[in-house]
Amino acid sequence: MRGSVCFRVAVTVLLGLLCAMSQAQQLPEEISGQRFQFRYEVGRPFRYAIGMRVRLDMHTKAGAEDQNMKMLLDTRYTVSLTPRSEPKQGITPVRIEPSGIEGDWDVHSPGGHLVVTLRGGEIRGTHNGLIVMDTAKGVGREQAQELKKELLLLTKSGMADLDTRGNVKQFRGDPDFVRFWNEMLENQTGLFGVIFPVKAVAVGDSWMEAVTVRKMGEMRLEGEGIRVEAVFTRQPDETVQDRRLAVFRCSAPLKHREIAGSMAWAGRKISVKLLELDQQATGVMKYDFARGLISEASVQSDRAATVELSVPGQSLAVEMKVRMEIRWRLIPDGPEAPPLSSKAQESRLQSRLSGAFMRAARNRAERCSSSIPFTPSSMETQPSKPTPRRMRKIASKSFMPVPISP
């Protein structure tokens, strides 16, 4: 009798274990966890439509002189990526080809209102409502050429060796292409804004990736730089048009005080002290299981900074607030789609890209009128001590938000 009871108990326990094991095997992948990898298919290029909007509010003080400037930069373009061969030791060579660059610059300062647009290779600019550049009508072509030189780096193509986690092993090609993309990669997590962990990730799981920032805009930081930690957390999956998407949220806060650095100008060194820096960056990225790629993503970064620039006998205090919004989406296979519209994106690659557009717009302003604030007169372009106006121009080129995306 006792043996029979023990047998029934053993059978019951065994059946319970088998049932539990069966249920565990049937758990959805999003609950049990899974590994995420990028999938690069030879003969199947993929394209991203990218948009970025940067809003800058800057207050400067040099001695008794106070000035304010507001700047809005809006850029859109497409990047094509073509896997060239099957992976070797987990590395796939991919060709990167940017195209279709459009841009809008809107600058308000005590010297007036500057508006510049780029469409289809044609540039148009106005200062206080007066046309100062219109390449379609042959106006200001020489000045427009200077602007296009600044944008040349954005159009260069080259190769990147990628692994399945999203890391870039190296860039190859034209030296300018390699330098440009390497600098951009210093301030972001992987080519696609996320580096997947080796371990499986279930809904609710988090992991951290860190980058060391050694340069902010034109400012080169002293010492070992600033460590920025981006934390990614998997959210519940979504289904969009019968496609299953894994959703990841990202957060990368940054707070620092008393950071020393420097900038080069006309062969001279300008000392920079970042007295206070506060940045909040968040993002959402969606991974398409069927395609093995990020299908869409958006990132917003808000930065407030107090900066002091100085050369012997002169200093400039700067207070800046910068908001950067980036949005990118995977273009469906088929005929090429246009870049994201300004309205659709509300805002792409990188603080580095916006820096190029900012320099180009300011260089154009510099040639339109020497009376525009934050730009030098012909005397100031000589390699001598920069004036307060020139110092303000230099300051506006730096301290863009650290991106956590391409």
> Out of 136-145, 272-281, 305-314, 361-370, which region has the weakest mean confidence (pLDDT)?
361-370
User: Which residues are within 8 A (CB) of 65 and not within 5 positions of it... i.e. 6 or more apart?
Assistant: 388
Burial of 18 (0-12, 13-18, 19+ CB in 10 A): exposed
Q: What is the pLDDT of residues 305-347, one digit of tens each?
A: 998 888 777 788 889 999 999 999 999 976 544 444 434 433 3
More confident residue, 215 or 40: 40
Please compute the mean of the pLDDT values over residues 141-170 and round it to a whole number: 85
Helix 351-368 and helix 175-185, axial crossing angle in degrees, nearest 10: 120
Q: What is the pLDDT of residues 342-395, one digit of tens each?
A: 344 333 333 333 333 344 434 433 333 322 222 222 222 233 444 545 444 544
In the prediction, which pLDDT does 378 show?
A: 24
What is the identity of the amino acid at 72? L
- How far is 133 from 146, CA to CA, in rounded Å? 12
What's the CA dihedral at 23, 28, 29, 30 to 10 degrees? Answer: -130
The beta strand positions in 17-64, using DSSP E, are 46-62
- Checking if the pLDDT of 50 tops 90, the result is yes
- How far is 199 from 181, CA to CA, in rounded Å? 28
- How far is 307 from 61, CA to CA, in rounded Å? 11
More confident residue, 111 or 208: 208
- Checking if the pLDDT of 6 tops 80, the result is no
